[in-house]
Amino acid sequence: MTKKQLALEVIERLKKEYPDADCTLDYDQAWKLLVSVRLAAQCTDERVNIIVEKLYERFPDVESLANADVDEIEAIVRPCGLGKSKARDISACMKILRDKYDCQIPKTFDELLALPGVGRKSANLIMGDVFGQPAIVTDTHCIRLTNRIGLVDGIKEPKKVEMALWKIIPPEEGSDFCHRLVYHGREVCTARTTPYCEKCCLADICKKRI
């Protein structure tokens, strides 16, 4: 089986296993996803979903968050870790949205990437989830699972994994595929325990089956 064939088979099986998989960060407006992805660095999505509720109670829109005192933002987001740098990035980001984009989020990958604290993973997540564009989100689950399954070989650097996956994943499948990898990575192909290969829907085609 070529890597492309393997990728298509994995995509189909994960679709059956997790038909409704979507982003595990809660948001109802695009700019809120931008805030959440910054807070999610080295923090669980569950915790981020709780903290942002408090943040939006105090600062309900781009304008109020852009005008907020950075220390006040930091005090709220501190439980997500890296409070100082996250608060600084969120503040700078919201100011740019207010001043340059009429309080909306930019629509191109490169413009998103230019925002403070936004890396390729976050920009891809937003392109896929907000704009329905092709996206490959190389988070920790994606990198671990694609290596184990054999879709990539010994590549750990996120951008290199992303580039390798672009060659074998149909673009329109990328965003949902990455969401499903998160679900599978949490429930079956786990990081902190031995993966549960005996109950894995990919067991017969996975390179690393244990």
Among 89, 129, 139, 176, the active-site one is 139
Round to whole Å and give the CA distance between 141 and 148. 10
Round to whole Å and give the CA distance between 38 and 126. 12
Residue 107 as a binder of ligand SF4 (CB under 6 A): the answer is no
In sequence order, what are the residues at sequence separation of 6 or more whose Cβ sits closer than 8 angstroms to the Cβ of residue 67? Answer: none
Closest distance to ligand SF4 from the beta carbon of 137 (Å): 18
Residue 208 as a binder of ligand SF4 (CB under 6 A): the answer is yes
Residue 210 as a binder of ligand SF4 (CB under 6 A): the answer is yes
Residue 148 as a binder of ligand SF4 (CB under 6 A): the answer is yes
Residue 200 as a binder of ligand SF4 (CB under 6 A): the answer is yes
139 is catalytic: yes
Residue 202 as a binder of ligand SF4 (CB under 6 A): the answer is yes
Round to whole Å and give the CA distance between 78 and 107. 29
Instruction: Compose the 57-86 pattern: x for residues touching ligand SF4 by CB under 6 A, - for all others.
Output: ------------------------------
> Are the C-beta atoms of 183 and 170 separated by less than 8 Å?
no
Task: Please identify, among the stretches 39-47, 81-89, 91-99, 194-202, the one whose residues bind ligand SF4 according to the rule CB under 6 A.
Answer: 194-202
> Are the C-beta atoms of 138 and 159 separated by less than 8 Å?
yes
With CB under 6 A as the contact rule, the residue among 106, 117, 174, 195 that binds ligand SF4 is 195
Among 32, 86, 121, 176, the active-site one is 121
28 is catalytic: no
Which residues form the interface with ligand SF4 (CB under 6 A)?
145, 148-149, 188-189, 195-197, 200, 202-203, 206, 208-210
- Residues assigned a catalytic role: 121, 139
